[in-house]
Structure 1
Amino acid sequence: MSLKLGLLGFGEAGQGVAEGLICTGVPIDILTWDILFPDAGKGAALVKAAERIGVKRAASAAEVAGHAELVISAVTTDQSLVAARQIAPHLGKGTLYLDFNSTSPGKKRQVAEVIDGAGAHMVEAAVMDTVPPHKHRVPLLLAGAKARDVVSKLAPYNMRIEALDGGIGSASTIKMCRSVFMKGLDGLLYECLVSANRAGVGDVVLDSLQKSFPGLDWAQLAGRKLGGAAIHSGRRAGEMREVAVTLTELGIKPLMASATADRLQAIADLGLKAYADENGVPKTVADFMAALAALERQGRAEAAE
């Protein structure tokens, strides 16, 4: 029999996972719902993606709940608890609910209270890399009493999943702490290289980093990190706000995490994602600087009108 999978949220993560699962050729029956589907403007691209990938669209979260033996929640960070509350009353007893969202351990436990309280079973997933390059094979850490049940259900699809022994919050704690470094590096590279480029010493600074840390290809790393920042900074800023909550829960003042959230939000507000959608994602440091220059010229032109 095909696995009956429900998918809450059909953004980048949901699309990538769905496409990867379908492309395995192993039978699967996916039904998805996204709150933007009814919006003729904002939802048009999502509807088109569902048609391209071959995923059925639901009319509501309740319809997804009625369909699925396993539900994956891949909504925006700030909507994870809202989505859980909307679907929980409609979940069948024993339904597995896999929360993909990058939220604090405390938020994961709140979601678990809602889902488990409805008679379903919450399992948290910490997504340990960007979904699009890996699709359904993005590395996942799972935690919760039913984590190994989820691993068993998804075993035919050759996913990269590790079930931890700890309870809800174990996986997200690892991801949140890791993100202090991974997303913090985005902010550091942006401030370092954009300021160096503006001063006319960008290449000199990159060469200096290469000499100090010769084990890394700094030009390649910086190009990849800045390109990712161009298209993911808005989402990552939200994640870093959850990281700040996590650190506070642990008794650590989140100075770096909060600053990273602010920097990533500022990058997102530049309009780089829209630029990348139209012109392609920057692949190198030079590409990124060219994108910034183009946006600055555009801003000056608009201000002059």
Structure 2
Amino acid sequence: EAGSSLCIGWNRLGVRSFDIKQTNLDLKAAKCAEMQDLGVEAAEDVQAAVQGADLIFSTVTADQAFDAASSAAPWLRPGAFFFDLNSCAPSTKQKSAAVIEAAGGRYVDIAVMATITSKYHHTPMLICGDHSDAALTALLALDMTPKLIPGPVGRASTIKMVRSVLVKGVEALTAECFWAASKADVVDEVAASLDASQTGMGWKAQAHYNVERMTTHGIRRAAEMREVHKTLIDLGITPDMTRGTIDRQQQFGELKISLVDFDSFEARFAAIEAAVKTE
């Protein structure tokens, strides 16, 4: 998805690609046809795709990111950029960087910060690492819009991974909530109540508020969520997200600290960290 979206946005000649699906005889023809439709040359293997290239974009599934870097490394020309756009943990990016750098390439950590299928190569992206300044110039020349994040490889990915706790978590919570609402035939009522509860706070302010509520009322809220857990089971829904909520509310409630007198976001989370370490 990411690779094809970039190619659609660039709309340029001289791009070649290799997809692991090409090794599957049942999938190869369709994948090569897809590349051809985008004006992209279908390389026979990783070596053919990478060798001689100045810019390599790795857009694979997260579980294949390190393998992709490892398979490309032997064929890199000295000084070639290896742009790793994959949604991986910082430690995975750092492992990939070590392999690419050892082979003479220039590794760049790129975090794609929005759905890429709508804005294509103009999708917001963060970049970091030792070669970020030169990489920024190269990406701007492709009419891309990256933002440089100071720091070593992994910092851009850290921002994306931590952000995903909320973004993907909210998606999953929403699904669990409204699946239950649908089965209980109370969708409109639940939605109206949630709409009325919207605070208009930014996320940092909301987090500042939420953690105080959790440390003050976490035990009681965990008890309530156990009843929610029972409700979902009665509706025939596996309450996976609700179980996590019970655990976190219980944990914060058992810290037995008050955050009321801690005015800043930083002070509140420092107090939580200190309390967790003494458990």
TM-score for the superposition, normalised by structure 1? 0.64
Aligned to 1:149: 134
User: 1:43 deviation in Å?
Assistant: 3.6
> 1:163 is aligned with what amino acid?
L
Q: Which of 43, 55, 62 is matched with 2:40 structurally? A: 55
Aligned to 1:18: 7
SS in 2 for 1:29: coil
Aligned to 1:223: none
Tell me, yes or no, if the aligned pair for 1:69 and 1:95 is still in contact at 8 Å.
yes
User: 1:259 deviation in Å?
Assistant: 6.0
- Distance in 2 separating the partners of 1:14 and 1:157: 14
**Deviation string, structure 1 residues 9-33 (Cα, Å, up to 9, x no partner):** xxx11100111011xxxx5521100
- Distance in 2 separating the partners of 1:123 and 1:182: 24
Aligned to 2:161: 176
Q: Which of 21, 30, 46 is matched with 2:15 structurally? A: 30
**Deviation string, structure 1 residues 42-86 (Cα, Å, up to 9, x no partner):** 344422321211111100111112141010000110011111111
Aligned to 2:229: none
Tell me, yes or no, if the aligned pair for 1:70 and 1:97 is still in contact at 8 Å.
yes
- Distance in 2 separating the partners of 1:109 and 1:172: 10
Q: Which runs of 5+ in 1 are unaligned?
A: 1-11, 217-254, 261-305
Aligned to 2:72: 87
Runs of 4+ in 1 over 6 A off after TM superposition: none
Q: Let me know the Cα RMSD of the aligned residues.
A: 2.1
Identical positions, percent: 35
1:107 aligns with 2:119: no
**Deviation string, structure 1 residues 101-149 (Cα, Å, up to 9, x no partner):** 1001100000001000001111010010111011111111001111121
User: 1:153 deviation in Å?
Assistant: 1.4
Whose Rg is larger?
Answer: 2
Distance verdict in 2 for CA 1:139–1:52, change over 3 Å: same
Larger relative CO (CA 8 A, sep 6+): 1 or 2? 1
Instruction: State how 1:204-223 maps to structure 2 within 5 Å.
Output: 204-213=189-198
- Distance in 1 separating the partners of 2:128 and 2:199: 37
User: 1:158 deviation in Å?
Assistant: 2.4
Distance verdict in 2 for CA 1:44–1:204, change over 3 Å: farther
- Distance in 2 separating the partners of 1:121 and 1:28: 23
Q: Which runs of 5+ in 2 are unaligned?
A: 202-239, 246-279
- Distance in 1 separating the partners of 2:244 and 2:193: 25
Aligned to 1:97: 82
> 2:9 is aligned with what amino acid?
G
Distance verdict in 2 for CA 1:177–1:147, change over 3 Å: same
**Deviation string, structure 1 residues 210-266 (Cα, Å, up to 9, x no partner):** 1111759xxxxxxxxxxxxxxxxxxxxxxxxxxxxxxxxxxxxxx97x969xxxxxx
- Distance in 1 separating the partners of 2:77 and 2:118: 33
- Distance in 2 separating the partners of 1:43 and 1:162: 36
Distance verdict in 2 for CA 1:190–1:169, change over 3 Å: same
Aligned to 2:115: 130
> 2:38 is aligned with what amino acid?
I
Tell me, yes or no, if the aligned pair for 2:52 and 2:76 is still in contact at 8 Å.
no
> 1:21 is aligned with what amino acid?
W
Tell me, yes or no, if the aligned pair for 1:137 and 1:158 is still in contact at 8 Å.
yes
- Distance in 1 separating the partners of 2:139 and 2:7: 12
